[in-house]
Structure 1
């Protein structure tokens, strides 16, 4: 697969780029590392080891934070809480979780940033991930 590198832009001292969020194996990460060490552009990735881990980390509320922060540059917690229309304390908890997993970054003056202006989500769900206990509510919904 070939990816074209977009021109990066700079917002308040933070270079903004595209990122792929997905599920990958250690082997894939190692292969990208080796390719990068050989001078091949790999792009930016935020990866999880399982689909379950991705969904545990990127809850609906945290996706909303990511959506509001995409391309926005550095934001204060108060401004982010205003943009997602939530209490600052609840936003702080989600921001801390996203900082701890490396999804968000700290910048000067206590601001946080999601340093990307484009997000691509990439993962595959295989039948082995399901135990068959869940069924469609509407059997006509194919």
Structure 2
């Protein structure tokens, strides 16, 4: 089962993750099989993963490629608005374009972050 792990982490942490992925790709270290998407802040994550966009991801989870019209039908929303949300999700790396539409290539999504008190 493929899981997308969504994280909030600093640029340094993200760069370390990328470096590890590059080492794994060249065989220098074992591949951990983790798929992750990092955001620099809670605010940035919420600008991308709004409740309506998360609903799109939810209906796409484990479904294979879907047309944008089918996604709009499944979430019960206007095609134009869903198209704009899908465009944002594609540009952010949350979902992928496929020959036959768009796809969320994971079976589930896991959020992994902490919220700290203000200074």
Distance 1:83 1:59 in 2: 17
Partner of 1:126: 116
The 5 A counterparts of 1:1-142 are 6=1, 17-36=2-21, 37=23, 38-42=28-32, 43-109=34-100, 111-128=101-118
- Residue by residue, what CA displacement relative to the aligned partner does 1:20-69 show, whole Å, maximum 9, x if unpaired? 01211122222223333032324100110001100111111001001111
Q: Which runs of 5+ in 2 are unaligned?
A: none
Q: Secondary structure at the match of 1:103?
A: coil
Gaps of 5+ in 1: 1-5, 7-16, 130-142
- Structure that is richer in helix per residue: 2
* Equivalences, count: 113
The two structures have a TM-score, normalised by structure 2, of: 0.87
Query: RCO higher in 1 or 2 (8 Å CA, sep ≥ 6)?
Result: 2
Please give the TM-score of this superposition, normalised by the length of structure 1: 0.74
Q: Give 4+ residue runs of structure 1 displaced > 3 Å after superposition.
A: none
Cα RMSD (Å): 1.5
